[in-house]
Amino acid sequence: MHFAALGYISTILTILHLLGDPIDSMWSLLTKLEVSRRCHVWVTRTATRRVPTKAVAIILAAMEELDGSGGEINVLTGSIQPYLHPNIDQDIFDDACKEAASELADSKVDESIRTYLAILGYLFSLSAAFVDAVDNGSEKPGNRIAFAMLFSWLIPAVLLSAATGRFCSSGSCQRIIERFQWSLNHPHRDCDSGSEMIRKPQPASCCSRCISTIQINFHAARPWAGPIYTYRPEKQIFATGSGSDRRPLLLLLFASLPVILSVSCAFSISYYTPTVGLGCRSLLQLSIGLLWCFSACITLLLGRVRFPDGKYLWRMILVKDTLLATPVLLAVILVTIGIFNSCWCWSAAYSRGRANAFIALKSDAGREENSRTKYPALVFANVGLLLILVVGMRYGEGYRLRYDSGREREKRPGVIEYVRCWFKRG
């Protein structure tokens, strides 16, 4: 997972929110990606001249992250919008956008390759576990892999986190946007104070051709105000008018499906583990799934309460997540220790009733058969659906971590230069 560079305490609190409310965490990640996509769509629809569309979209997404309100697009783009049409300062604007977008992309941590390798290693481990259980006669997988599948929603969460990335430091985004504002407001040398490397702010009236300051109340990077992509209390986003905007309810559905699939897979594996029926483990997995849905509802209700400051809502959410994530982790630890290894839990008495409950003492044959058929089918169907769901989540997004202003591409050596340097070193 990509965690905001706000310190270890913030990372721990983010993990608590992720485990206590996975639906809201993925909903927030999807909202962040949707903001970037809408910025790209808005620039494409609004510009009446050829502009660096991707660069402007990256800058708008960064501004929205600093603003954190997801409000009206006219407020966000009030001073940029005139430069999307033919005017005398369009070259200055384009150069400033390319430079700022390149800095924003360079300040982002892009570890998507490592994430994909981790997912491939995870899939390989799953396959190897089934092969080892069937061929080598080791302990047959059952409830152990069921509880692993209970947290398989981490796959789309990690992939979405890799898609959004994170900034290297808490203030890098704000500093880049402030430099971008300065370059727009002071495009001429007679507005500069001191050297070109160090520029001091000047009054807006220092030059008659200066551009009005972007009217956005930028705040410092705080955990409850934008830097943590898995926590976004405001899910309403500005509309582009294109008809392709994804509504918050659709994003909520996308965020809920991974949890529903994971809980369903875990419940099914535990249900078909001998003795077949509803036992303690399957009931616990179902209860944890309902607890996560309940947590998302509480977060949604708390978000509608008008707190005087965002930090109070953040603290309320953390208290709720701590109260809900702690029993979930405790239950997994107790199951691993073996708290449910009792005659009652193995008898499937909840579905068979007291009169028909029994314990399958010789269950190796049934477990081996499940290891060949039911378990792999459920596990890989679940993982496959999760990966397909991630593709649907990211369909049509306009956000990319990498961006070159053109200067980096010109300076970058080609393949021939790399080979020549390699031979020289050899």
Question: What pLDDT does 249 receive?
Answer: 92
DSSP 377-392: HHHHHHHHHHHHHHHH
β-bridge pairing 108-109 and 166-167: antiparallel
The pTM of the full predicted model, rounded to 2 decimals, is 0.82
The overall longest dimension of the chain from CA atoms, in Å, is 92
The list of the chain residues with pLDDT below 70 reads: 68-79, 88, 132-142, 170, 186-221, 363-364, 396-426
pLDDT for position 217: 47
Q: Look at phi and psi of residue 203 and say left if phi exceeds 0, alpha if psi is from -120 to 50, else beta.
A: beta
The pLDDT, as a whole number, for residue 135 is: 58
The two structure tokens encoding residue 7: 């310190």
Coil, helix or strand at residue 167 = strand
Report the run of H or E that residue 109 belongs to, with start and end.
Answer: strand 108-109
Q: What is the pLDDT of residue 82?
A: 75
CA angle 227, 229, 235 (to 5 degrees): 110
Predicted confidence at residue 200, as pLDDT, reads: 40
Quote the CA–CA distance of 109 and 27 in Å, as a whole number. Answer: 21
**Which of 357, 365, 237, 233 has its CA nearest to residue 307?**
233
Tokens (6 digits) for 302? 């708390």
